[in-house]
Structure 1
Amino acid sequence: MNRLPTPLLPTERFIWGVSTSSYQIEGATKTDGRGPSIWDTFCQQKGRIANGDTGDIACDHYHRFPEDIALMRDMGVQAYRFSVAWPRLLPNGRGHFNEAGAAFYDRLIDAVLAAGIEPWLCLYHWDLPQALDDEGGWLSRDAAGWFADYATLVARRYGDRVKRFATFNEPGVFALFGFGLGWQPPGVVDADAHRKAIHHVNLAHGEAVDALRAGVSGASIGVIHNMQPCLPASAALEDLAAAARLHMHWNQAFPDPQILGYYPTILADELAPQIAPGDMARICRPLDWLGINHYSPIYARGDKNAPLGYAWAGPPDGTPQSEIGWQVHPDAFRDILLEASRRYHLPIYVTENGTGGRDQLDHTGAVKDQHRINYLNAYIGAMQTAIAAGADVRGYFVWSLLDNFEWGAGYGDRFGLIYVDYPTLRRIPKSSARWYADRITRETATGPAGKP
């Protein structure tokens, strides 16, 4: 079903960018007619988010986006991947269209283009309108139609200026965490609900691809998946089985049907009650590129009492880890890029890669995040090694432009190239921002993908 990728021409630019998402940076959750999202509701539930943090203010990007775009321009960033907040355009998820919310993205897109930066628009980065969740959300087959209608509105409004679109960001994550493990909204822990969410999100993806293709002339359409090696916590048979099952849910449940046209065998059997005639053709629509988000390997252990048969596990003691406890393993990134390129035969853009830390201002008022520079340097090197070995990778986006609301961790984990002083919302470029700017300049001078 997918188009054959065209080779990156010697004169074609390898894209260097940064990524953000609406709920994590925008704030203004009750401004200009925006409706509540499932994350607004979830953050109000006691004990869900570290320190009781919410996205109500976040980085106030809604009001401060000109400053943030200027920071991107100063870094020499070539592309900006952001997401649209569905409840800002459609406060109830469907029906009433909120012109004030739509106008915000007009201003944002126009300013990004004026700075010489290409906008990459993601339709969904986890902030489902609460009104739709009240009607069943991703547990309803109707969600595919709701999402297609939303995609049509976005295409009509912004397709004259935006050509790069992604349908979903990391469906494997929000489906598993929201319906299988209960860590994210709607906070459900139920294997059957998890299976329903998988299939309905896949249907929504396919419908949205068709809507974007019909609504935007010259559209370049992709989808973004978080791909990580899923490893057993030990050599025990139950842990090996747990890792294989996590791999199926995390790495295969979405890209396989969306790109290859089928579910992994075990999952196909489990989803059989959900699959209606014609569903797989609705899901597998032609794509132009695949977005891959990657941070580190993840681990699973067997748990017979867990609805999915496994539980999350931490990385082994003694392995290199980031300041927030995620394993640092650049060779795993290289291997993922090679495997995905060979399996899916689509041009790949690394749409998120970065590392979290406990960055602080020093006595001079600077933020010296050498740990992030070391991480980015190693992972970009691993990507370039994968390219040299044949991986069709055409761009790299750092997560993230700004320190922001990091979901369950609240504001404790900082991933940004730009430090945000949350009490004042002052932006302070970290040493990694200057390093990335210099790296973009150097890599751009050496050719489409630099040198490994």
Structure 2
Amino acid sequence: MSSPVISRKNTIKFYAFFYYFIYCACAIRDILDINKQEDAILYDERGYKKPYCPANEWGWQIDANGLRYSLIDFYNRYHNPLFIVENGIGIDEKLINGKVYDDERIIYYQKHITAMKEAIEHDGVDVIGYLAWSPIDFLSSHKEIRKRYGFVYVNRDYEEIKDLKRYRKKSFYWYQKVIYSNRTDLENNIDY
């Protein structure tokens, strides 16, 4: 989803959007009504997937190049700076001895930040901001608390609130290092 940010003079100052995963949509030729066809494409349940792209537990296909291509397309289409207001991955994680080793999240961010850097440095895209989603685990609109997005683990599950204690995940320390290095150090070499 995306939306332009408009100033008082009704000129767009920048374009904001979120990116989580790719989605394959294909035309449905046997539906003639355009409204029904749009719904069929948007809520396509035929299960088309892009070959060779891994997916998380919920079937979200992960393709960082999709972010780069989206950045290039949006910038060429709207000729305004871009702001990625959400980018992240939901993972079913477990707290083990007070720690969460979420290397899958780190790999996701490494690839997506690299794709963003390539769009900026090689394709000339003007990206003015990037926000990882999310700083802390929260109740997701889908899959309750099982789908965790945060860098900070909240000790609760869907059935039981528990003590709600917060635990910094491995990705917390990794992302902190990325911020301090101004996105130049993406190595997963955190001593956790």
Length-normalised TM-score, structure 1 = 0.35
**1:442 and 2:163 are equivalent in the alignment:** no
1:359 CA drift (Å): 1.0
Tell whether the 8 Å contact from 1:295 to 1:355 is kept in structure 2 after alignment.
yes
1:50-65 equivalences in 2 (<5 Å):
none
**1:290 and 2:15 are equivalent in the alignment:** yes
Q: Give, in whole Å, the separation in 2 of the partners of 1:304 and 1:408.
A: 29
Aligned counterpart, 2:150: 416
Aligned counterpart, 1:349: 83
Q: Give, in whole Å, the separation in 2 of the partners of 1:365 and 1:335.
A: 39
Aligned counterpart, 1:386: 119
Aligned counterpart, 1:425: 164
Tell whether the 8 Å contact from 1:417 to 1:433 is kept in structure 2 after alignment.
yes
3-state SS of 2:21 partner: coil
Tell whether the 8 Å contact from 1:359 to 1:367 is kept in structure 2 after alignment.
yes
Q: 1:409 to 1:308 in 2, by over 3 A?
A: farther
3-state SS of 1:341 partner: helix
1:436 counterpart letter in structure 2: Y
**Which is greater in Rg?**
1
Aligned counterpart, 2:31: 304
Q: Give, in whole Å, the separation in 2 of the partners of 1:378 and 1:337.
A: 14
1:243-258 equivalences in 2 (<5 Å):
none
Q: Give, in whole Å, the separation in 1 of the partners of 2:134 and 2:12.
A: 25
Structure 1 outlier segments of 4+, above 4 Å = none
Deviations 1:272-330 (A, max 9, x none): xxxxxxxxxxxx92232211200111123537399531132445265311233211111
Tell whether the 8 Å contact from 1:315 to 1:327 is kept in structure 2 after alignment.
no
1:292 counterpart letter in structure 2: F
Q: Give, in whole Å, the separation in 2 of the partners of 1:328 and 1:408.
A: 18
Q: Give, in whole Å, the separation in 2 of the partners of 1:369 and 1:315.
A: 28
Q: Give, in whole Å, the separation in 2 of the partners of 1:398 and 1:414.
A: 13
Q: 1:321 to 1:394 in 2, by over 3 A?
A: same
1:131-142 equivalences in 2 (<5 Å):
none
Q: Give, in whole Å, the separation in 2 of the partners of 1:324 and 1:293.
A: 18
1:26-425 equivalences in 2 (<5 Å):
170=1, 225=2, 285-301=10-26, 302=28, 304=31, 307-309=35-37, 310=40, 311-313=43-45, 314-316=47-49, 319-362=53-96, 364-388=97-121, 389-422=123-156, 423=161, 424-425=163-164
1:425 CA drift (Å): 1.6
Deviates most, 400-409 or 430-439: 400-409
Q: 1:421 to 1:352 in 2, by over 3 A?
A: same
2:103 counterpart letter in structure 1: Q
Tell whether the 8 Å contact from 2:25 to 2:48 is kept in structure 1 after alignment.
no
Q: Percent identity?
A: 31
Q: Which runs of 5+ in 1 are unaligned?
A: 1-169, 171-224, 226-253, 260-283
3-state SS of 1:340 partner: helix
2:16 counterpart letter in structure 1: G
Q: Which has the higher helix share?
A: 1
Deviations 1:2-54 (A, max 9, x none): xxxxxxxxxxxxxxxxxxxxxxxxxxxxxxxxxxxxxxxxxxxxxxxxxxxxx
Q: Which runs of 5+ in 2 are unaligned?
A: 187-192
Tell whether the 8 Å contact from 2:139 to 2:145 is kept in structure 1 after alignment.
yes
1:442 counterpart letter in structure 2: S
Q: Give, in whole Å, the separation in 2 of the partners of 1:305 and 1:360.
A: 47
Tell whether the 8 Å contact from 2:135 to 2:150 is kept in structure 1 after alignment.
yes
1:340 CA drift (Å): 0.7
3-state SS of 1:425 partner: coil
